[in-house]
């Protein structure tokens, strides 16, 4: 039960006494040694959370729930869109498999602080490997299973893992993609040589094992189980590579203590989910949503987590929601657009347990949200966060009795506790600009960057003067504390000295009844500096004559003719990353 009834009361508690607020939040977690202080400044200028406390994240996610009598409750439900398998693991079964695999890793020499690189798709075994690393105090590094050999080798050299865990194959749609050649080439091309590899053999494409190098995952699971190893709150739990915010791949380091406290609080406060509730994320485990809300947060809260391999259809989503009494669904705008394109409609179908749908990854425009609300007949909301933050910077707080105002529900919400956003205008007198977050960031955010074998402060993210974290996102903060997103800093278009966000234009275009999806980018213009170009996926192909003129006129009426949108290019689909984000930089250079 949360101690606040309103957002303002929660916000005041977090800002008036942050030490007391976070120490109270830390009581949600089982500690070997409870912390006596919340935030501590580090010698390198960054900050640690709950330093002096000791705990084990795997114990908090698994063992304590078995001890509390939840052993037979489903912990993980996995569905593969490729093989059409569905598996369910109880907390007791998950504990047995994780403890056994941790024993197998220990037999291979893995201990506290060692890195284990996991190159596997969204599978039960991937989650088991993550939790087994946490159990040992080792640091897991999950990478996207579809990476080419050069990208995999780059990450091997960056984190120098003792062991690599890999699946024998992954899938693109229902097509088998063998991993043998990629793994062999990556290991041959990397400077660092791991002590060995652990292979998850899949029926669709077993891998030829290399003697002296490879070990069978399921054989290691049968090793004598090991108990959770206490670690310091500030010790790394995982490294996750991202290139989104500062342009080049970097290893974001997440700690154990702050991560566990923040995610546990978020399940109650933001999602309104508690012990026994079922949470379903469509994200791959190789991305931050899969880490935070596919594995850790639901399990820390004693709930059930549904994870999927591949892109689930609307029918699969509906079937899983019904079969497992899903309370919260977490998905992406791309997933919703695919559902809309397929004509999905749950409004007349019983989804008895589903209470709300959350959207993140990129901004979902109001037209898409309105469609999704009609489709699900449930609240569907944006919230804003980054790989670097690990949980919501801004959100809607369904754990509070106070109803969220309708105007705020239509945007990305208000700041979560501990986040203090301010706007830095690029032009004097403007209300919009880059959103900065005052330091220290709250628990759960990046503990630093992994570089040359050590944790480094994230200096590339600091604004001039060092007192704020740069989000590289542009927006407006209104008097009701709501944050309104305008897009990435490099998505802002400068037309004859005036600035307009690509998201502002996209919102207007998306309101056209014949538009399925769109993206707006800036291109160079010799007269005006830049001009906008719109790439539009029409609701039906081919686009009808006159639609481009209608869209351009719609933008002119909505924002003004100075915007100068004249080029509306119709495409069958927009380029997206494997995590579902539209690749606007690719369009801008097309």
Q: Tokens standing for 181?
A: 């050649």
pLDDT for the residue 315 = 92
pLDDT for the residue 243 = 59
Question: 542: cis peptide before it, omega within 30°?
Answer: yes
Non-local CB neighbours of 37 within 8 Å, separated by 6+ positions = 19, 23, 50, 51, 52
| Of 52-56, 410-414, 456-460, minimum mean pLDDT range | 410-414
Domain range list for the chain: 499-589
Q: Exposure of 243 by Cβ count < 10 A (0-12 exposed, 13-18 middle, 19+ buried)?
A: exposed
Q: Is the pLDDT of residue 500 over 80?
A: no
pLDDT for the residue 269 = 97
Give, for 406, the enclosing helix (H) or strand (E). helix 406-409
| Of 183-187, 401-405, 443-447, minimum mean pLDDT range | 401-405
Q: Tokens standing for 318?
A: 């509906």
Distance, CA of 17 to CA of 535 (rounded, Å): 48
Q: Is the pLDDT of residue 495 over 80?
A: no
% of the chain with per-residue pLDDT over 70 = 97
- 0.75 exceeded by the pTM? yes
| Of 480-489, 514-523, 546-555, minimum mean pLDDT range | 480-489
Local structure of residue 296 (DSSP, 8 states) = I
- Looking at domain 499-589, its CATH architecture is 2-Layer Sandwich (3.30)
Query: What angle in degrees, to the nearest 10, is found between the helix axes of 18-25 and 257-269?
Result: 90
- Average pLDDT estimate for 149-157: 91
Q: Is the pLDDT of residue 477 over 90?
A: yes
Q: Tokens standing for 571?
A: 């495409």
pLDDT for the residue 162 = 98
3-state SS track over 472-523: EEEEEECCCCCEEEEEEHHHEEEECCEEEEHHHHHHHHHCCCCEEEEEEEEE
pLDDT for the residue 245 = 44
Residue 61 and residue 46 in contact, taking contact as beta carbons nearer than 8 Å = no
pLDDT for the residue 42 = 94
Give bridge partners of residue 532 from the DSSP assignment. Answer: 522
pLDDT for the residue 125 = 98
Supply the mean pLDDT for the chain. 91
Distance, CA of 164 to CA of 142 (rounded, Å): 10
Confidence band for 490, pLDDT divided at 50, 70 and 90:
low
Give bridge partners of residue 582 from the DSSP assignment. Answer: 576
% of the chain with per-residue pLDDT over 90 = 70
pLDDT for the residue 57 = 98
- Average pLDDT estimate for 252-278: 98
Residue 410 or residue 288, greater confidence? 288
Distance, CA of 338 to CA of 469 (rounded, Å): 34
Confidence band for 246, pLDDT divided at 50, 70 and 90:
very low
Q: How far is CA 87 from CA 123, 166, 305, in A?
A: 10, 20, 12
Q: How far is CA 224 from CA 58, 97, 104, 106, 322, in A?
A: 17, 10, 8, 10, 37
Distance, CA of 352 to CA of 355 (rounded, Å): 8
Distance, CA of 479 to CA of 445 (rounded, Å): 26
97-120 pLDDT, tens digit each:
999 999 999 999 999 999 999 999
């Amino acid at each position: 039960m949360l101690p606040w009834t309103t957002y303002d009361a929660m916000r005041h508690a977090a800002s008036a006494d942050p030490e007391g607020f976070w120490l109270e939040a830390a009581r949600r977690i089982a500690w070997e040694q409870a912390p006596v202080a919340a935030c501590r400044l580090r010698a390198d200028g960054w900050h640690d959370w709950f330093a002096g406390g000791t705990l084990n994240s795997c114990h908090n996610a698994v063992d304590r729930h078995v001890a509390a009598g939840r052993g037979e409750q489903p912990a993980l439900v996995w569905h593969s869109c490729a093989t059409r398998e569905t598996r369910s693991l109880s907390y007791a079964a998950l504990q047995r498999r994780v403890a056994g695999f941790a024993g197998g890793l220990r037999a291979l020499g893995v201990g506290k602080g060692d890195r284990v690189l996991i190159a596997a798709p969204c599978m039960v075994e991937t989650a088991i490997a993550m939790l087994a690393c946490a159990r040992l105090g080792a640091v897991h590094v999950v990478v996207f299973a579809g990476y080419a050999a050069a990208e995999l080798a780059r990450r091997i050299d960056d984190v120098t893992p003792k062991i690599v865990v890999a699946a024998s194959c992954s899938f693109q749609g229902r097509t088998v993609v063998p991993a043998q050649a990629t793994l062999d080439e990556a290991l041959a091309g990397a400077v660092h040589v791991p002590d060995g590899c652990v292979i998850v053999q899949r029926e669709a494409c077993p891998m030829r094992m290399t003697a002296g190098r490879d070990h069978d995952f399921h054989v290691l699971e049968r090793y004598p189980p090991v108990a959770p190893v206490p670690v310091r709150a500030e010790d790394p739990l995982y490294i996750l590579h991202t290139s989104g915010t500062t342009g080049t791949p970097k290893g974001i380091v997440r700690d154990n203590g702050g991560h566990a406290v923040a995610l546990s609080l978020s399940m109650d406060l933001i999602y309104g989910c508690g012990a026994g509730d079922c949470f379903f994320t469509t994200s791959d485990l190789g991305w931050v949503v899969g880490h935070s809300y596919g594995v850790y947060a639901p399990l820390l809260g004693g709930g059930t987590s549904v994870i999927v391999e591949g892109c689930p259809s609307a029918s699969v989503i509906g079937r899983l929601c019904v079969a497992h009494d899903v309370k919260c669904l977490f998905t992406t705008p791309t997933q919703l657009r695919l559902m809309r394109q397929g004509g999905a409609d749950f409004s007349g179908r019983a989804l008895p347990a589903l209470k709300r749908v959350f959207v993140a990854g990129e901004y979902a425009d109001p037209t898409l949200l309105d469609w999704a609300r009609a489709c699900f007949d449930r609240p569907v909301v944006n919230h804003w966060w980054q790989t670097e933050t690990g949980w919501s910077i801004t959100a809607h707080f369904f754990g509070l009795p106070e109803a969220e105002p309708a105007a705020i529900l239509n945007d990305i919400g208000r700041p979560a506790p501990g986040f203090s956003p301010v706007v830095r205008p690029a032009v004097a007198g403007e209300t919009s600009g880059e959103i900065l977050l005052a330091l220290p960031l709250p628990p759960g955010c990046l503990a630093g960057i992994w570089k040359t074998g050590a944790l480094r402060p994230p200096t590339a993210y600091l604004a001039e003067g060092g007192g704020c974290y740069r989000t590289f996102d542009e927006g407006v903060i209104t008097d009701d504390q709501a944050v309104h997103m305008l897009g990435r800093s490099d998505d802002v278009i400068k037309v004859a000295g005036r600035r307009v966000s690509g998201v502002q234009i996209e919102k207007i275009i998306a309101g056209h009844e014949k538009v399925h999806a769109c993206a707006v980018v800036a291109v160079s213009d010799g007269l005006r500096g830049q001009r906008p170009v719109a790439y539009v996926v029409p609701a039906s192909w081919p686009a009808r004559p006159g639609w481009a003129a209608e869209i351009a006129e719609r933008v002119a009426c909505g924002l003004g003719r100075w915007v100068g949108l004249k080029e509306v290019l119709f495409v069958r689909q927009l380029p997206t990353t494997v995590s579902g984000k539209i690749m606007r930089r690719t369009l801008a250079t097309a």
